[in-house]
Amino acid sequence: MRALSERFRPYEWALSTAEIARLAGIAPEQVLRFDGNTPPHPRPTSNVAAVERALARVNTYAHGGFPELLEAIADYAGVGTENIVLGAGADDLIMLVARSFAGPGDVVSVRDEPTYPVYRVSSWIAGAEVGDDDPVLTFVCRPHNPTGALVPLPDARPLAVDEAYFEYTGGKTAAGLLDDGVIVIRTFSKAFGLAGARIGYALAAVDTAAELNERQAPAPISSISAALALAGLADPPDVSETLEERDRLAAGLRGLDLEPASSWANFVYVPVAEAGALTDALLRKGLAVRGSAEGIRITPREAADDDVLLRRVAEALGR
Ligand SMILES: Cc1ncc(COP(=O)(O)O)c(C=O)c1O
């Protein structure tokens, strides 16, 4: 196998729900995950009827691709179908963009680090290094994971803007810059509640999208996932309740003398000393948050679950 950068580190998943349950001495159903930046339940459009037609033809390839889905995404995103590249989630599109633009000897810039680790992973797997010296590609995460900030758009080109949390921003997007060397990456995993279906899309200038499509796998998404995405787009999500609950959770955290960062996404980032110890203490109670060196990131669930978390955070911090 071709050697990768000496700095290469693979993506690391959080503990499984079964492992957390074992650690906490509770049943897996009692574990509450606040660490995935996904909604607590599927949307009503994710149902058996939505996939019936796709299931009846699951023995065949989707010859000719998914024209209906491309039309629906084009309508939703305000672009043409020829601007769209489909992928198995935003991750697949990040990997595609990295390997299409960068290779051995190249440098890829990742802005606002620490941020979503797959920009680094995909660059390293493409054989490139991560740095800021004459990059062939720049990644920016906007809104930013993990802080939720609407970070400035870099002037660098080509620029891949990860808009995984676009739906929570009230329409903030770089999609108007496609003809200026910008590629926008989005997903159905977050507001559309389809993380398990693995489906996302990139938007790019027509020639860039064509080249990316040529470099993409022949059949990158499943017909079942395409059907779920299409059903979701027929009734796009209203995220207002999620945002209200996020803000209520943030107020609760402020009530504990914490200072959650203001967020444009479906999570809140809270700087805390000894974030690792707090993350660990919560895990032992069956509550998973995303811990990092200097803080924890929390995805709100429903009010009752979030209140349990607030109580446990208060206990762990002695407040
Ligand atoms: C910024 C960002 N990009 C991409 C992803 C992955 O999205 P997908 O499930 O579409 O691969 C995530 C998931 O947490 C994310 O936070």
pLDDT, mean of residues 53-65: 96
Q: Kindly state whether residues 183 and 143 are assigned to the same domain.
A: yes
Q: What distance in angstroms lies between residue 318's CA and the mean position of ligand 1's atoms?
A: 34
Q: Kindly state whether residues 206 and 274 are assigned to the same domain.
A: no
Alpha-carbon span 29 to 60, nearest angstrom = 36
**What domain range includes position 209?**
48-234
Q: Kindly state whether residues 23 and 120 are assigned to the same domain.
A: no
Q: Kindly state whether residues 139 and 59 are assigned to the same domain.
A: yes
Q: Is residue 301 part of a domain?
A: yes
Q: Is residue 142 part of a domain?
A: yes
- CATH at 63: 3.40.640.10
Q: What distance in angstroms lies between residue 37's CA and the mean position of ligand 1's atoms?
A: 9
Q: Kindly state whether residues 308 and 171 are assigned to the same domain.
A: no
Confidence of residue 319 (pLDDT cuts 50, 70, 90): confident
Give the model's pLDDT for residue 312.
97
Q: Name the domain boundary from 234, 260, 291.
A: 234
Query: Using one digit for the tens of pLDDT, what is the confidence trace for 265-304?
Result: 999 999 999 999 999 999 999 999 999 989 999 999 999 9
Give the model's pLDDT for residue 284.
97
**Percentage of residues of the chain with pLDDT beyond 90:** 99
Q: Kindly state whether residues 122 and 213 are assigned to the same domain.
A: yes
Atom of ligand 1 nearest to the CA of 165: 1
Q: Is residue 9 part of a domain?
A: no
Q: Name the domain boundary from 234, 259, 282.
A: 234
Ligand 1 pocket residues where CB is under 6 Å: 37, 89-91, 116, 141, 145, 162, 164, 187, 189, 195, 200
Q: Is residue 7 part of a domain?
A: no
Alpha-carbon span 220 to 216, nearest angstrom = 7
Residue 50 has pLDDT above 90, yes or no: yes
Alpha-carbon span 271 to 150, nearest angstrom = 17
Give the model's pLDDT for residue 129.
98
Q: Is residue 124 part of a domain?
A: yes
Q: What distance in angstroms lies between residue 1's CA and the mean position of ligand 1's atoms?
A: 27
Q: What angle do CA 127, 130, 136 make, to 5 degrees?
A: 75
Q: Is residue 97 part of a domain?
A: yes
Alpha-carbon span 254 to 262, nearest angstrom = 11
Q: Kindly state whether residues 185 and 173 are assigned to the same domain.
A: yes
Atom of ligand 1 nearest to the CA of 199: 10
Beta bridge partners, 185, equal 162, 202
DSSP single-letter state for residue 46: S
Q: Kindly state whether residues 139 and 84 are assigned to the same domain.
A: yes
Query: Using one digit for the tens of pLDDT, what is the confidence trace for 161-182?
Result: 999 999 999 999 999 999 999 9
pTM attached to this predicted model: 0.97
Residue 27 has pLDDT above 90, yes or no: yes
pLDDT, mean of residues 13-34: 97
Nearest CA to ligand 1 atom 12: 164
Query: Using one digit for the tens of pLDDT, what is the confidence trace for 104-152?
Result: 999 999 999 999 999 999 999 999 999 999 999 999 999 999 999 999 9
Phi, psi of 257 (to 5 degrees): 65, 25
Expressed in angstroms, the distance from the first to the final Cα of the chain is: 52
Nearest CA to ligand 1 atom 2: 164
Q: Which of 35, 85, 147, 162 to mutate to test the pocket of ligand 1 (most atoms within 8 A of CB)?
A: 162
- DSSP-derived 3-state class of residue 308: helix
Domain count, the chain: 2
Q: Kindly state whether residues 83 and 31 are assigned to the same domain.
A: no
What sign has the CA pseudo-torsion 106, 153, 35, 114?
positive
Q: Name the domain boundary from 234, 251, 271.
A: 234
Atom of ligand 1 nearest to the CA of 38: 14
Q: Kindly state whether residues 62 and 85 are assigned to the same domain.
A: yes
Give the model's pLDDT for residue 161.
99
Q: Which residue has the tokens 């027929």?
A: 234
Q: What distance in angstroms lies between residue 86's CA and the mean position of ligand 1's atoms?
A: 14
Alpha-carbon span 180 to 298, nearest angstrom = 35
Atom of ligand 1 nearest to the CA of 115: 1
Give the model's pLDDT for residue 195.
98
Atom of ligand 1 nearest to the CA of 91: 11
Q: What distance in angstroms lies between residue 89's CA and the mean position of ligand 1's atoms?
A: 7
Q: What is the largest CA-CA distance in the chain?
A: 60
State the chain's mean pLDDT as an integer: 97
Q: Which helix (DSSP H) or strand (DSSP E) does residue 270 occupy?
A: strand 268-271
Q: Is residue 62 part of a domain?
A: yes
